[in-house]
Amino acid sequence: MFRSRLRRRGGTAVALLAAASLMVTLSGCGVDPLTPQEAREEAGSDNKPGGEGRRVDCAKTKCIALTFDAGPGKDTPKLLDILKEKQVPATFFLLGSKHVDRYPKVVKRIADEGHEVANHTWTHRILTDLDAAEVREELARTQDAVERITGRKPTLMRPPQGRTDDTVSEVSKELGLAQILWSITAKDYSTNDSALIEQRVLDQAHGDGIILLHDIYDGTVPAVPPIIDELKRRGFTFVTVPELLAPGKAEPGTVYRPEKD
């Protein structure tokens, strides 16, 4: 069993994403996260395919993955403009209800512009509080909605508040979804201060890191350009989550989380 513990928080809007600032709980026996480095090493040792045509080799390059949760929202088009201008790929963990179904053109644009489209459930229910059928509904509805828009089902998901267990892992495996956690968070749900969001990310940045931000909060998108510029200056290369794991492939049901340096 994983060592960390996550306490459930109350509230409404804050509770939706508050646990992004916390260590996650992997509460089920047998749920053991892999790091990106371990995913790459396992692929290499097993001589698995998947490295052909890679844009970057994260075993040799200081990579970092920029990810956004709980969108798309009203500011996502502006964010996509920024990413396009700066030639940075990102991974978007999309929320179904009132997001994917409200902004289908934005979802299609995310996919068309080469970003990774991923699953963040339908209504952001805490999956470890649900039975298998309820977990399946939360994930499958978003899978189907994204497929209708983009022609492709996601292969990655992020459990709300990072909470997962054996049941969540089993259903994720059934649906073809790997579970992606994070190692860098700006707690952008708690502030609209873009400079503070920027500083929090930069203070935590590390190789093989996964940055968690939310493109639904007013302070977040304005913080993205200086974050990108400074991390590039420090020698980081931005990648999607699948690129971070390559030549490893995100295995359905498996939990991935980087370790901080």
The Cα–Cα gap between 126 and 110 comes to 26
The Cα–Cα gap between 16 and 216 comes to 12
Angle CA 217–218–221, to nearest 5 = 85
Do residues 199 and 174 lie in contact, with contact meaning Cβ atoms separated by under 8 Å?
A: no
Q: Looking at the annotation, which residues are catalytic?
A: 69, 214
Span 200-214, pLDDT tens digits: 999 999 999 999 999
Phi, psi of 143 (to 5 degrees): -55, -50
Cis peptide before 247 (omega within 30 of 0): yes
Q: How confident is the model at residue 50 (pLDDT cuts 50, 70, 90)?
A: very low
Report the pLDDT value the prediction gives residue 31, as an integer from 0 to 100: 67
Report the pLDDT value the prediction gives residue 55, as an integer from 0 to 100: 84
Q: Give residue 112's identity as a one-letter amino acid code.
A: D
Residues 121-133 have a mean pLDDT of 98
pTM over 0.75: yes
125-162 burial: b if 16+ Cβ within 10 Å, else e: ebbbebeeeebbbbbbbbbebbeebbeebbbbbbbbbb
pLDDT surpasses 90 at 3: no
Report the pLDDT value the prediction gives residue 11, as an integer from 0 to 100: 38
The Cα–Cα gap between 64 and 237 comes to 6
Helix (H, G, I), strand (E, B) or coil at 107: helix
Residues 184-195 have a mean pLDDT of 96
The Cα–Cα gap between 108 and 103 comes to 9
